[in-house]
């Protein structure tokens, strides 16, 4: 009897624009964002600045780099597009919890690991990458899954590949999010198991950090800490939220009760979206779209 192979992923969102055509793939950018327990896929037409596809997957939990690579191989092999190798550009974005945003003037390739160790614990076995964040003069240093990246490079040998990190892509989205509000803006991105908070003023980044969330009360705790640090009034400041939270949910209402000025964030105006994307709330996948600004 042949053993049935366990399925290691589940699709939770899929939207495809009618304008997508395989005949124009050479002008499309493929974005693959990889987290511990999830994966997002996005395709953007770089000539029309139009988002053509967005998919979201939940992955089985694993601490093994090799098993994560096998998970992705299983998903890709059943997908109608991901094994195609002639994209204009492929952006591979990791969502690892170990990262640092360093001013460009302080960065050197030789000191990348040392700079990252100033911000978090880095093991000798950790693979460390870096790249220039396009929206400001900073370098994003981060850890990544070596097995996954090696396999993806073997798939996309005919495409230009860039490797990024979720934190830098959120910074891109925040700093490219016109029109700018007057004064400082506190931007919250609620991810699965994490919360990211950025503070910006016009096109300048003042603060960015990520917090592991174990219970709901921690959202309010960390938001209050950031507001206090910048001496901002919770009743009368620019406070926006994006990510995995629904506008009519009990969680949003609870946060709104604690922070009356809180509002739902908007989708980036730099990209075009067809009517098919109306089914996706505008405040979701803000991080994924940020990869477009690192082309």
- Nearest of 193, 146, 189, 192 to residue 168 by alpha carbon: 189
- C-alpha span between 45 and 47 (Å, rounded): 6
CATH number of the CATH domain containing 149: 3.30.420.250
At residue 154, does pLDDT exceed 50? Answer: yes
Q: Decide: helix, strand or coil at residue 3.
A: coil
Structure tokens at 145: 């899954």
pLDDT at 265: 96
Assess whether 285 and 201 both reside in one domain. Answer: no
**Same domain for 147 and 281?**
yes
Rg (C-alpha) for the chain, rounded Å, is: 19
User: What pLDDT, on a 0 to 100 scale, did the predictor assign at position 4?
Assistant: 37
Number of residues that make up the chain: 295
**Which of the four pLDDT bands, split at 50, 70 and 90, describes residue 1?**
very low
Residue labelled with tokens 């919890």:
97
Residue 198, domain extent: 178-264
In the structure, what pLDDT confidence band is assigned to residue 85 with cuts at 50, 70 and 90? confident
Smallest CA-to-CA distance from 285 within 4, 3, 13, 66 is with 13
Decide if 87 is inside a domain.
yes
User: For residue 226, what is the domain's CATH number?
Assistant: 3.30.420.260
- Total domains, the chain: 2
Residue 62 in domain: yes
Cα gap 147→127, rounded to integer Å:
10
Average pLDDT, the chain: 94
Q: Give the C-alpha distances (Å, rounded to integers) separating 111 from 60, 174, 246.
A: 35, 28, 41
Q: Provide mean pLDDT across the span 99-125.
A: 96
To the nearest 10 degrees (0 to 180), the angle between helices 65-77 and 146-155 is 30
What distance in Å separates the CA atoms of residue 162 and residue 156, rounded to the nearest whole number?
11
Residue 201 shares a structural domain with residue 163: no
Percent of the chain with pLDDT over 70: 98
The closest alpha carbon to 153, from 127, 134, 173, belongs to 127
Q: Tell me: do 50 and 165 sit in the same domain.
A: yes
pLDDT in tens, 178-206: 888 899 999 999 999 899 999 999 889 99
2 to each of 6, 31, 77, 102, 128, how far by Cα in Å? Answer: 12, 35, 20, 52, 40
Domain assignment present for residue 2? The answer is: no
Contact 25, 19 (CB under 8 A): no
Kindly state whether residue 257 falls inside one of the protein's structural domains: yes
């Amino acid at each position: 009897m042949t053993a049935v192979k366990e399925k290691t992923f589940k699709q939770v969102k899929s939207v495809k624009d009618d304008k997508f055509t395989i005949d124009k793939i050479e002008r499309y950018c493929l974005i693959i964002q990889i987290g511990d327990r999830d994966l997002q896929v996005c395709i953007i037409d770089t000539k029309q600045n139009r988002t053509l596809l967005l998919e979201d997957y939940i992955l089985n939990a694993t601490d093994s780099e090799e098993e994560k690579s096998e998970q992705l191989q299983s998903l890709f092999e059943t997908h109608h597009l991901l094994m195609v190798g002639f994209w204009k550009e492929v952006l591979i974005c990791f969502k690892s919890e170990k990262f640092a945003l360093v001013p460009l003037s302080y960065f050197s390739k030789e000191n990348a690991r040392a700079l990252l160790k100033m911000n978090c614990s880095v093991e000798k076995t950790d693979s460390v990458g870096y790249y220039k964040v396009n929206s400001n003069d900073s370098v994003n240093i981060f850890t990544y899954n070596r097995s996954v990246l090696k396999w993806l490079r073997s798939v996309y040998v005919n495409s230009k590949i860039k490797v990024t990190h979720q934190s830098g892509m959120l910074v891109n989205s925040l700093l490219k999010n016109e029109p700018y509000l007057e004064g400082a803006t506190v931007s919250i991105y609620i991810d699965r198991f994490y919360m990211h908070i950025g503070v910006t003023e016009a096109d300048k980044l003042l603060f960015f950090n990520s917090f592991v969330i174990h219970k709901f009360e921690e959202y309010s705790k960390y938001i209050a800490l950031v507001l206090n640090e910048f001496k901002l009034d919770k009743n009368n400041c620019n406070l926006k939220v994006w990510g995995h939270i629904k506008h009519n949910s009990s969680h949003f209402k609870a946060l709104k009760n604690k922070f009356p000025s809180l509002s739902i964030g908007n989708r980036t105006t730099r990209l075009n979206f067809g009517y098919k994307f109306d089914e996706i709330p505008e405040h979701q996948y803000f991080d994924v779209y940020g990869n477009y600004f690192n082309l």
